[in-house]
């Protein structure tokens, strides 16, 4: 019994590190995506760039682990993972910003992921939800709503409901991806490799057939390459591996809170990148999200024990 506690704490620390890497990477890619849209790129252009780079990075790993059986995961499970956590998820989430403001996505997406994944972990995976976890999750959700409150109260246009629906749908897909990662207990690298390569195979032919080579050549090359490196290399590869590891180390019910802090980190990242200074409500929401996350992962409990 004396050996199990240090091992458990070590897994928690690694899980916290992986979750933090995921949240920071996602926040950076979110800020760069906004820069890409302002420079004239469309959502489909960025998704194309994302999976060209992510697929190229992960293809050697898939070849190493075995293409025939899809890195030991199998074709059926690989296709399910790619549909839930790959191109369809990314397209729905990105397309939502074409109809609804950024604040809507910042509130609806992480809240839906947190709630759906937590309920699913308790019902289907039989993960035990401690009092600290429930309190922390509630504080995180309160912080998310504070961060997006100003945007939620502003006029959003007649088709904002369609964007909200796309945000919700993408988040349900991501929650399903998270639950299956834990249920099937898949290694992070193998799962990321099959999702990236299959997403590349799905998106590239469709993009080239619909948009055409002329459209691709007319895009700003420097920004397209930059988006490919950030969206594909950072978001599509590194953060996917880090998140998958966090799910393995922490379980679904705690790991899903790291996507929930992405809006808060995006507020901080947006200061130097896009020059947006957070208001009082956003700062208060950032503090609440941080407090809730620390409560959920047991930081205060462990400090108290020490």
**pLDDT, tens digit, 9 for 90 and up, residues 215-252:** 999 999 999 999 999 999 998 999 999 999 999 998 88
Please state, rounded to an integer, the average pLDDT across all residues of the chain.
Answer: 83
Residue 26 has pLDDT above 60, yes or no: yes
Query: For residues 104, 162, 166 and 141, what is the CA-based torsion angle, rounded to 10 degrees?
Result: 30
Higher pLDDT, 294 or 47: 47
Q: Is 115 exposed, middle or buried (0-12, 13-18, 19+ CB in 10 A)?
A: middle
pLDDT for residue 162 is more than 70? yes
Chain segment 33-53, per-residue pLDDT in tens: 767 777 788 889 989 999 999
Model pTM above 0.85? no
Task: Residue 243: name the closest of 13, 16, 19 by CA.
Answer: 19
- Residue 278 carries which DSSP code? P
Query: Token pair for residue 130?
Result: 């401690």
In the chain, what percentage of residues exceed pLDDT 90?
41
Per-residue pLDDT at 5: 44
90-94, 126-130, 151-155: least confident range: 151-155
What's the rounded mean pLDDT across residues 165-186? 92
């Amino acid at each position: 019994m004396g050996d199990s506690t240090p091992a458990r704490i070590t897994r928690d620390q690694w899980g916290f590190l992986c979750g933090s890497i995921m949240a920071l990477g996602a926040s950076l890619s979110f800020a760069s995506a906004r820069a890409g849209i302002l420079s004239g790129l469309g959502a489909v252009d960025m998704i194309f760039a994302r999976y060209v780079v992510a697929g190229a990075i992960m293809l050697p790993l898939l070849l190493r682990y075995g293409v025939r059986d899809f890195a030991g995961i199998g074709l059926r499970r690989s296709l399910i993972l790619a549909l839930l956590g790959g191109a369809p998820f990314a397209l729905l989430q990105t397309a939502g910003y074409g109809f609804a403001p950024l604040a809507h996505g910042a509130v609806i997406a992480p809240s839906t992921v947190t709630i759906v994944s937590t309920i699913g972990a308790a019902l289907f995976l039989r993960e035990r939800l401690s009092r600290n976890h429930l309190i922390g999750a509630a504080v995180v959700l309160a912080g998310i709503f504070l961060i997006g409150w100003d945007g939620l109260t502003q006029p959003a246009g007649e088709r904002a409901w369609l964007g909200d629906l796309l945000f919700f749908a993408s988040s349900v897909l991501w929650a399903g991806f998270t639950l299956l990662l834990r249920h099937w207990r898949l290694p992070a690298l193998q799962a990321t490799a099959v999702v990236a390569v299959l997403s590349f195979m799905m998106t590239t032919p469709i993009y080239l057939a619909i948009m055409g080579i002329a459209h691709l050549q007319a895009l700003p090359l420097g920004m397209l390459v930059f988006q490919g490196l950030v969206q594909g290399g950072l978001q599509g590869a590194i953060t996917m591996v880090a998140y998958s590891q966090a799910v393995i180390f922490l379980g679904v019910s705690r790991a899903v809170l790291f996507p929930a802090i992405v809006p808060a980190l995006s507020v901080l990242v947006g200061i130097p990148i896009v020059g947006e200074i957070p208001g009082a409500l956003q700062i208060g929401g950032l503090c609440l999200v941080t407090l809730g996350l620390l409560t959920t992962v047991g930081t205060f409990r462990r400090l108290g024990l020490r």
